[in-house]
Amino acid sequence: MKYLFFLLIFLLGACSVKNYEHTDVKIITIKSAQLRFSDIGYIRHTKDAIELELFVAGHVYRRIHINHLICVDEGCMRKSSFNAEYLFAKYPSTLLQNIILGREIYDGKNSVKKDDGFVQHIQNADVDIKYSVASHQISFKDRKNHILIKIKDVQ
């Protein structure tokens, strides 16, 4: 019984309210088989946690919390489970958080530095990815799996 209590506290703590150090307002576009969104959103983050708050017509449409788990309206799950359900099962577990924060994906594979960011092209039997990070825009496109994620500054 005591272990059940600690397990419950641990699981509920994964989705608890965080005090985020950084907050940015962005235009966020996400297109996959399970997620379709393009509007204003907030990206809040600390060193080890991210909250993506998506709005449609001024109302919260969806919140996605990322730390050691990914929490959505339906509950919390492992990052690999989130990828399998919402994106593509063979993506690295850290892919979404790296895209949101504008970090290299796939351990920096094929990364080419640019003046204000970098570009990565990753092709194999499972993916055909073009990922670019610039000072005012992040763009991820996987042609093979029909997934698009864009994050732009609001101007």
Domains, the chain, in order of start with CATH, read 2-153 (2.50.20)
Kindly report the average pLDDT of the chain as a whole number: 87
pLDDT band at 22 (very low <50, low <70, confident <90, very high): confident
The sign of the torsion formed by the CA atoms of 63, 49, 15, 76 equals positive
- Which region among 58-62, 75-79, 83-87, 96-100 has the lowest average model confidence (pLDDT)? 58-62
* pTM for this model (two decimals): 0.83
Confidence class for position 73, pLDDT limits 50, 70, 90 = confident
- Whether 8 shows a pLDDT value over 50: the answer reads no
pLDDT at 9: 46
Of 119, 127, 125, 124, the closest CA to residue 143 belongs to 127
- The predicted pLDDT at position 1 comes to 54
pLDDT above 50: residue 139: yes
